[in-house]
Structure 1
Amino acid sequence: MNLPNKLSLLRILLVPVFAAFLLASSVQGHFLWALVLFAVASYTDHLDGKIARQRNMITTFGQFLDPLADKVLVMTALICFASMGLCNIWFVLIIMLREFAVTSLRLVAVESGKVIAANKWGKTKTVSQMIAVMVVLILQSVQELAGTGAAAGAFLLVGNLFVGISCLLTIVSGVVYIRQNYQVISTMK
């Protein structure tokens, strides 16, 4: 296994630790710890792609593992947020639907011998999701460290705005993927 794939695997392995801190409300500074872990995991996404391109280490396995690691990380954060009342459940459900649809399309494509790599819309979607998660975590960290609930409503509104924008970009990228790869769907038996 090459270094970029190991970094993607590390991202997946960080997910349960991230979720444990995020949900551990009894731990002082749990949002800040979750933010640090999420930021580290997100940086591995940038790093694995950069290394793979620079060192010509792009593999078919990596083309599947990298986006899978992104999905696991982001979806874990969003599901936790929804369960904690930090974001709208409909945004999470729409994002999940798109992720399952595109992943299914990729699996069907593999059966026909085609690998569907991430395009610019998919990358934009992933970055927007990661930014949205980090914004929510930053706002919750500030609220937690300040020890006040005075701005809680405003923080929830801003966090939901970022998740909503990410949801919109997720829909757009899903439509683009399906349109660009419609021939894969049309050849299904």
Structure 2
Amino acid sequence: MLTLANKITLFRIVIVPLIVVFLYFPGRITCLLAMLGFILAALSDMVDGHIARRSNTVTSFGKFLDPLADKLLISSVLVMLSALGWVPAWVVIVIICRELMVTGLRAIAADEGVVIAADKFGKMKTVLQMLALTPLLLHYPWFGFDPNPAGQFLLYMALILTVFSGGNYLYAFYKNWRTADAG
């Protein structure tokens, strides 16, 4: 159960409170540290899946833990950025509600023996959210560059993709449900 890939995923979960603590005391250095921790966690998201597939050590625990780690990381950062007034609360609510909806749909489907796998839009959504949060975490201008406009633009693009991919999951669930009812 504790394969190398799963240990990397657990690292991603463990680093979340550290990022939150850095954001609890916002300043140039703490935001830089929070961003660096976030980048490290985001990179670990790419590495763990690659290692699991390459070493043929994909586990049920890993399949559960990986999306949970992503949701904890992104949701925690979004909540902190909203609390700081750096991201609109309604954006955070929409993103977190979508995550809860998809998790719920997957749980219902799994109870019926149906797997609703992550699709390309869901994966793209996660990458775009991570790309958006990186400059938003940096927050303060550095060497004349203000990271906020780029981060805000990417966040709204991620929001659109988040809603679209949530609708896509809802449609996949509905289609599976209708097929099961017809059969």
Whole-angstrom distance in 2 between the partners of 1:35 and 1:115? 34
Greater displacement, 33-42 / 113-122 = 113-122
Residue in 2 that maps onto 1:72: 72
| 2:113 alignment partner, SS class | coil
Residue in 1 that maps onto 2:22: 21
Give the length in aligned residue pairs.
Answer: 179
Superposition deviation, residue 24 in structure 1: 1.4
The 1:29/1:128 distance shift into structure 2, 3 A limit, reads same
Q: C-alpha deviations, 1:53-101, integer Å up to 9, x for none?
A: 1111222221121011001000111111111111111111110110000
Structure 1 segments unaligned to the other structure (5+ residues): none
CA contact (8 A) 2:132 2:154 kept: yes
RMSD (Å), alpha carbons: 2.1
Residue in 1 that maps onto 2:128: 128
Which amino acid counterpart does residue 47 of structure 1 have in structure 2? V
Q: C-alpha deviations, 1:87-140, integer Å up to 9, x for none?
A: 1111111101100000001111221123332111111000011001002123x1
Whole-angstrom distance in 1 between the partners of 2:89 and 2:148? 13
Whole-angstrom distance in 2 between the partners of 1:13 and 1:86? 24
Whole-angstrom distance in 2 between the partners of 1:159 and 1:87? 10
What percent of counterpart residues are identical?
A: 37
1:164 aligns with 2:167: no
Greater displacement, 80-89 / 156-165 = 156-165
What TM-score results when the alignment is normalised by the length of structure 2? 0.88
Which amino acid counterpart does residue 166 of structure 1 have in structure 2? A
Q: C-alpha deviations, 1:131-164, integer Å up to 9, x for none?
A: 01002123x14x2x56x9xx8xx75444322211
Whole-angstrom distance in 2 between the partners of 1:29 and 1:166? 26
Residue in 2 that maps onto 1:115: 115
CA contact (8 A) 2:135 2:148 kept: no
* Aligned residue runs from structure 1 range 38-117, under 5 A: 38-117=38-117
Greater displacement, 59-68 / 109-118 = 109-118
1:11 aligns with 2:3: no
Which amino acid counterpart does residue 109 of structure 1 have in structure 2? A
Instruction: Select the structure with the greater relative contact order (CA < 8 A; seq sep ≥ 6).
Output: 1
What TM-score results when the alignment is normalised by the length of structure 1? 0.86
CA contact (8 A) 1:87 1:159 kept: no
Superposition deviation, residue 22 in structure 1: 1.6
Which amino acid counterpart does residue 117 of structure 2 have in structure 1? A
